[in-house]
Structure 1
């Protein structure tokens, strides 16, 4: 029987050596001097933003990117003191917080720039910002055709310093290289216009994880690394076969019982046993890992063997068939995602069985705070 510890009935193991390996694998492919911005939005894609950021700073990243002001403030409170870019928008009433925390806002429109400049004037404090260009995403950022007129105004603002300019090459996520090249060409045309006007912006960045590995012409001064750091697939395939999965999701067997044939399992009795069956309950449900709600014909690993999930996932537990695993016992470790012995259940396998798109690592972002993160070297 394994250990039963109330603090770790389910947990995610975060392998920091794998994180370091993935970073160095990408770094080895970059031009010398290219800076690295690590993306730790959505709690570092479920891996734990504070601990991951601390490690990445030790590993030599130059900057951090998050989606929201709240995420950035959490990092500052935890002494993450390198540059932090806020990729999303910031409400007008929260702009002062950007100054107080020394953050880099993204400029998505002229109105945001005017608010920042006015706030800086009142505070007697200058703020650096990065201008976002929409070359095809359709969400945040200025359209290329309107950029030059607005940039002419930005560079004249007394309390706003244009420290960076960037775009997001979204089409590379679907593997459409030709469309991605069009986005790069649109962005490069803008860079050419800036150079012709003698406008120098220190940090130019366009590449996120798939572009770094598949579109080297978009490298520029800095790259933004997200999913590749965490060893996650993109579009149900790995960006590079050298990356290592950083997260494993584990739980424990909490009950085992013998039931007869024609026994209904779970809510709605969607599974009925055909013969006497040995069933085990695991201490993890869709409130812990949201993808479990969608998982079809899923399996877990117990005693180095695959055990099929039977019935619907419950909010707080799963039921699996361990009839064929005679040695299974209460307290045993069960791997929901990861490795045990020679068996492996990967993120892409779960994504396919769940019908979840892995383009933006949806699966691990569905891991709740109830799942303890355990960091291993």
Structure 2
């Protein structure tokens, strides 16, 4: 027998999969590394330089004249600009427009007979022939080679922010019911479309498929007006959790019904026929047979729906509000960035704070994900 060799197409597929995995993994790895870096280093260099020494232009201030001492007939102010470690100063200056005017160790004339010297270890001396006056110390600009520094300060700042705990609870209050309710409704509808004969079933299936392509933004305002109208008629407050649960149910039902209907339609017909022969009703078949067998499809949709509702910001702002007591976790973390988008090191840490719960859900149900999606995509009734 001639040993069979793999087709070139197989190698192309494997290489393509590896490239896709790398392309998806690199941004996540970069985000994780950035979240652990010192914010000053993060501002001047990319995450791929995290393990290398970075050169930074920094500003410090010498000690005030109150700390000067007399030495050999001259007055001296001494100190260190660096906090320790292996950092080294390469150049310094005393004017903002000339931050690297003098190499480290070179005396610089700063006027009035005073000289400033900054050594490579960050130590400095200001020497004056007369007693120095003033309330504040001399500003010193310098360039230093800073070794890589990693810290959890970004995570501490996020976790200590006011209202984070309440927003976390708000997100759970939104995401859990907004995941369970569509599954319950969609499971009943999917069973009816898959196994029950009634007029207009094909039209309903076509409508469900068509709703999959309707943009959320297009239906958001009409849905909000409808909800506000019904709420005003019934005397129900506009901004409630019920409203956002119903909104997420409406947006999630088309995909849920489509996945579950395709999966249920592929289940063995003989099981249902045997149950009917034994006198089981449609409700009994659904509860005792269909639901246990459809758990992979239910788990697949649960992952998608939970990820969507947990990370949602637009629907939460529209149907729940933007007050301090109503903000979900994504809204709270966006507020930490400020109106100008500064302090973006907070964004990197916030990203990993928000994915803790979705990761738990995903790894709990991931073994059912592929099975449920593939079964729902290739089987039909």
Please report the TM-score for the alignment, with normalisation by the length of structure 2. Answer: 0.24
Max Rg structure: 2
Higher strand proportion: 1
- TM-score of the superposed pair, with normalisation by structure 1: 0.24
